[in-house]
Structure 1
Amino acid sequence: NKEEEEEEEEEEEEEEEEEEEEEEEEEEEEEEEEEEEEEEKEEKRRKRRKKKKKKRKKERKKERKKERKKERKRERTFD
């Protein structure tokens, strides 16, 4: 009878340990998923910033071109 009790206790302890391990694994997985999501968000932000920067650069280039054109026109009118 005492042996049975000890055996049951051991089994319970093992089950508890297994449950704890499973919980830890689940937590780790959740953390990894969250990290991945954060990385994806950051990547999207970087891409948006890069795109905006490129757009601004293009706009400034266009603006300068326009200004040079106006300037040439003015110069011709003086001649």
Structure 2
Amino acid sequence: MQTDRHTDGRTDGQTDGQTDRQTDRQTYRQTDRQTDSQTGRQAGRQAGRQAGRQAGRQATRQAGRLAGRQAGRQAGRQAGRQTDRQTDRQTDRQTDRQTDRQTDKQTYRQTDRQTDRQTDRQTDRQTDLLFQVYPLYFVTISLIFCKKLI
């Protein structure tokens, strides 16, 4: 009788352990899928809350090993999230710098072209004005007339 109870207790314990592990796996997979499908702060908050609740429940149910595993998973997820955020920030900065450089180059070229065009137009106008006021034949006639007077 005592052996039966002992055996029954062990079987129930093993079954509970298996069920807990399966539940843990399912919960972990579900949490992982949710975290992957959502982005940004919302995913971090939700996964953090859910993982916190799960860690609390598990630590109360099972001391030691399982609580340590869950804490390790949580730490891994947190480190992964932090790395993703860091990578995203670096990528954003790099993209912004590249865009700024492109914009600066385009602005410089456009300004340079406009300035060159304006300078060319102004020079052309001055040259045209000079030739309109002092045409070549007028200068020639004036020189001839001055020579005769001398």
Quote the residue 2:105 is aligned against: 52
State the Cα distance separating 1:46 from its structure 2 match: 1.6
Choose which of 75, 89, 92 in structure 2 pairs with 1:39.
92
Using the TM superposition, give the Cα deviation of residue 35 of structure 1 relative to its aligned residue in structure 2, in angstroms: 0.1
Q: Which residue of 1 aligns with 2:42?
A: none
Residue by residue over 1:41-63, the C-alpha shift from the partner in whole angstroms, topping out at 9 and shown as x without a partner, is 11111211121121112101121
Distance 2:86 2:130 in 1: 66
Q: What is the one-letter code of the residue matched to 2:120?
A: E
Unaligned runs of 5+ in 2: 1-61, 133-150
User: Partners in 1 of 2:74 and 2:118 — Cα distance?
Assistant: 66
- TM-score, structure 1 length as denominator? 0.77
Matched pairs, number: 72
**Separation (CA, whole Å) in 1 of partners of 2:92 and 2:111:** 28
| C-alpha RMSD of the superposition | 1.9
Q: Distance in 1 between matches of 2:68 and 2:123?
A: 82
The equivalent residue for 1:68 is 121
For residues 76 and 106 of structure 2, the distance between their equivalents in structure 1, rounded to whole angstroms, comes to: 45
Aligned-partner Cα distance in 2 for 1:20–1:77: 85
Answering whether residue 68 of structure 2 is matched by residue 21 of structure 1, we say no
Structure 1 runs of 4+ off > 2 angstroms? none
Report how far residue 77 of structure 1 moved: 4.5
Q: Which one scores higher on RCO, CA 8 angstroms, separation ≥ 6? A: 2
Instruction: Give distance in 2, aligned partners of 1:28 and 1:60.
Output: 48
Identity %: 11
